[in-house]
Amino acid sequence: MKIIVLAGGLSTERDVSLASAAGICRTLIEKGHDAFLLDVFLGLEHAPEHLEDVFTLPGHGLEIAKNISCEEPDLAAVKASRPDQSDCFLGPNVIELCRLADITFLGLHGGEGENGKLQATFDLLGIRYTGPDSLGCAVAMDKGLTKQVFLQAGIDTPAGVTIHKKSKDRSLALTGLSLPVVIKPCSGGSSIGVYIVSTEEEYAEALEKSFFYEDEVVVEEYIKGREFACGVIDNEALPPIEIIPKTGFFDYANKYQADATLEVCPADIPEETASRMMELTVKAFRALKLNVYSRADFLLDEKGNLYCLEMNTLPGMTAASLLPKEAKAAGIEYGDLCELIITQSQKLFHCRSNIFCLCHRLTFIRIDQLCFSFSKSLSGASFFRSHIFRTPAHVIGLPLIGKNKLHKSLRGIFCILTPEHGGFPYLSTGSSI
C-alpha cells in the first residue's frame, strides 16, 4: 500500500507526534508498504516532478524526525522555517500526496490534527485516514465537554468546571472546589500546562500559566491515586497499564524522558478492577462517539474508586508508548498493531463513503446479518417492523420503494451487508438512503 504518515504540525505535542509517526513509518516499511513521513505544516516544498515518486524516495521522509528534543517545541521557530511563510495549516503538497495515498496514517497529536478539523477536511476531500472521525475527535478534545458526556453516561470522573480567560471572576470559590485542585488547558495534551496546586497563590499563578496555552482551562478536584491507561481497538479493550512516575505525576518530562517512569502491563491490580476499567474504557469510547481506536486515562483512589479522566483519540504510537505496550500484552506486535489500525480505518471509510452512493442506484438490497440499535421510535416504519424486525437474521430481500420514506425509517439501523450474498460491507448508524 502507498501510505502517507502525517506528523508534526503546530501543536505543543509536535515533537511527540514526529517520534510516534517515525516509528509508524519505519514499521510499515518493514511490513512491505511504500510509506512516507510528511510534516502536515511544513509539507514537501521540493517534490519530484511526478508526485507519486515520493513513495519510493530513499529515506522515506524520516529525516524530519531526527534530533527530536524532550523539551516543549519552539512553534515560532517552526513557523519561521516554512519557506512560503503561509499561515495555512496544510503545507505544500500535503493534500496532493494524501490524495495519492491508499490511506493517510494520522500520527498527529493535539491541536488541529486531533480536534476533528483535519478529519472533517479529509472527509470533504475524500481522503482516507486512520483513527476516529471528526465528531468523536472534536468532543473528546474538549476536556470540559468530555466531563459532561461522562457524567451523562454514568462514568465517574473528577468534578470540575471550565473557566474562560475573559471571565471576570476566576476565583476558586466560583468553582465550588476545595484545594488541592488540578488546572489544565481545556484541549491540551501530553500534560503540557497541567498544574497541581495547593494554595490560593499557586492557584492564581497556575491559571495564568495554563491560559498561556489556551483561552479555556479546566479546574478539577484532585484525586490522589494510582495512574492507569487502557486502550481500545474496534470496541475491544486492551489490558490496562499502570504508570508509576519516579517523581511527581505523569507530566511531559516524565512521559518522554528515558527511565523517568515505570510502566507495568498488565497492571498489578485485582482482576475485578481490571475488568471494570476495561468496561469503562469501552463505555467512554462509545459515549464520545469514537471509532477505530483510542486510549482512556484513569485514576484509582485508595478506596478502589475508578475515575476516567479523558480519552486520547490519537494516542502515542512509538514502540515504547502506552497503547503499543498494552497491545503487546494482548499478543499484538507493534507492526501488526499499525496494520490493524489501518484495516479497521479502511472498513470505517468504506462504511461511510461507499455504500450510499451505490444504494442510490439499487432497486433491491440483500441483507444477510442484522444487528439493530434504536435510540428513537421509527414512526411510519411499519414495513420494516413487520418485514425485518420480526424476521430471523438471515437473507432478506428489501425493496427500495419510497426513497423519502426510507430516509426516516433507516435512521438508527446498523446492519452488516455481506458481499457473498450480493450486498455490501456496512450500513452505518445515523445515515440514510
> Rounded to an integer, what distance in angstroms lies between the CA atom of residue 229 and that of residue 311?
10
Would you call 160 helix, strand, or coil by DSSP? strand
- Superfamily of chain region 159-221: ATP-grasp fold, A domain (3.30.1490.20)
Q: Is the pTM of this model over 0.85?
A: no
pLDDT tens string for the chain (433 positions)? Answer: 999 999 999 988 899 899 999 999 999 999 999 999 999 999 999 999 999 999 999 999 999 998 777 677 888 999 999 989 998 999 999 999 999 999 999 999 988 899 999 999 999 999 999 999 999 999 999 999 999 999 999 999 999 999 998 888 888 888 889 999 999 988 765 567 789 999 999 998 999 888 888 889 999 999 999 999 999 999 999 999 999 987 654 444 444 455 668 999 999 999 999 999 999 999 999 999 999 999 999 999 999 999 999 999 999 999 889 999 999 999 999 999 999 999 999 998 876 655 444 444 443 333 334 333 333 333 333 323 323 333 333 333 333 334 344 433 343 333 333 333 334 333 333 333 3
Spatial separation of the C-alpha atoms in residues 203 and 219, rounded to whole Å: 10
Chain-centroid distance, C-alpha 64? 23
**DSSP category for residue 63:** G
Q: What DSSP element (H or E) covers 347?
A: helix 334-353
- How many other CB atoms are there within 10 angstroms of residue 99's CB atom? 15
Please say whether the beta carbons of 309 and 299 come within 8 A.
yes
Domain ranges in the chain?
2-129, 159-221, 228-247+263-343, 354-427
| CATH, range 228-247+263-343 | 3.30.470.20
- 2-129: CATH number: 3.40.50.20
Which amino acid, residue 220? E
- Give, in order, the Cα–Cα distances in Å from 215 to each of 165, 186, 201: 5, 8, 20
